[in-house]
Amino acid sequence: MANMQSWRRREFKQEHIQWCTNKKLHSILDIKGNKDCHDKNYCHFELLKFRHESLPNKRRNPAASLTDELIVEILRRLPIRSVCQFKCVSKSWRRLIADHEHRKKLPQTLSGFFYKSINYERCQSTARHFTNVTGKGMPLVCPSFSFLPQCHDVYLLDCCNGLLLCRCYVSRETLQFHYAVCNPATKEWVMLPDASWAIDENRTACLCFDPAISSHFHMLEYVEEEDDSYVTLVTGVEIYSSETGLWTLHENGWNDEVVVSLSVNRRSVFLNGFLHSVTPADEIVAVDMEGKKWRKIPMLDPDGDIGIIHQTQGRMCAFNVDPNDIFKLSIWFLEDYDTDNWILKHTVSSMKLFGGKKYQLDYDYQVIAVHPECNLIFFVYGWHNTLMAYEMDRKEVRAIRKLGHESRQPYLPYVPMFSESLADGR
């Protein structure tokens, strides 16, 4: 009888430990309060604290009873750098994170760049390409997009957090096309309904997607028209929501005339639920995905020239040229998004970047991306369109590979996304 009672006490204690473990993990995942909780800093801190509390200074380690699925569910909510740190927890965690199927669910990092080449001597003059970020090996992604519906041609417009925005041309003669949003990693795609604009209009389209905010994406078009002096002004935006499957038109809410400087080497940035674009008036204009909030962010240096924006590590960064030294590149970080506080992060001379040659931004070289997880800048320069990287912390330059003189912009940075399905409301 005494042995039976002792056994029941041990069983009850074990059940209590498991209950406490699950309750703690559920609070980390915030399953009861908000199933879409994606506060990465909170999860990281709580998981570290949980691991510390679970270290074997007691007779049992509650962490040992966690299922692989639950650990992966926690890890997938963390930044890629944190996931790499958790490889050091134990050999079993290292094997768990390195597992091929689990890796698809975990955060990914920059894999490479999509781009195109043009050669009019080829039967198909335009071709699509993908280069790995290392510049070595077979491309990790096939750029044929054969999974898309059959069309005359596919033109890549934008890339945002694992999704690509494409124009699928029905006919080159009439220039008729449809927008498609696809996930190259899962080969899922959605064909968007046509927006309300004439066939002779030429709108600028941007893709807006952040899986930490929502599984749904948005696509934004700037509605533009020429004034009497032939300046193209933004009169509003038309926004497509994959949640509703509808387009909505919103009038310009910036309270004055705005010209957006978007081209193949002037990409917008989707950050904090806003789409940001540079204007020639030394400012950044931003609008949210409901067309309700409109704001302007003053550019970092009003005396600078050639404003280019990107994002890295959850912050916006900007590049410009010193008017007193056109061969010096300045890199600024928006340290405080709410107060528009910019800090000068780094400056570098083109002679340092290109072996003593005086190259000028936008003429001799282009800034195409900043690594999402570290202070690594990617450039393309020269006749052969050489892809190179500059590490700001170590002040080191590395040539990656020659993309070829036939290669053309845009060079779209790609971070694969395996864990989310392509949500669409239609």
Q: What is the pLDDT of residues 116-135, one digit of tens each?
A: 999 988 888 889 999 999 99
At residue 82, the 3 state secondary structure works out as: helix
Nearest to residue 255, comparing CAs of 241, 238, 234? 234
Residues of the chain with pLDDT under 50: 7, 12-13, 16-22, 24-25, 28-42, 45, 49, 52-55, 58-59, 426
Q: Give me the pLDDT at residue 194, please.
A: 84
Q: Give me the pLDDT at residue 85, please.
A: 73
User: Residue 276 class from Cβ within 10 Å (0-12 exposed, 13-18 middle, 19+ buried)?
Assistant: buried
Q: Give me the pLDDT at residue 33, please.
A: 39
Q: Give me the pLDDT at residue 32, please.
A: 34
Q: Give me the pLDDT at residue 170, please.
A: 83
Q: Give me the pLDDT at residue 80, please.
A: 66
> CA-to-CA distance for 160 and 415, rounded, in angstroms?
8
Number of H helices, E strands in the chain: 7, 23
> CA-to-CA distance for 282 and 127, rounded, in angstroms?
36
Q: Give me the pLDDT at residue 312, please.
A: 94
In the sheet that holds 325-336, the strands lie side by side as 305-312, 315-322, 325-336, 341-349
Q: Give me the pLDDT at residue 94, please.
A: 79
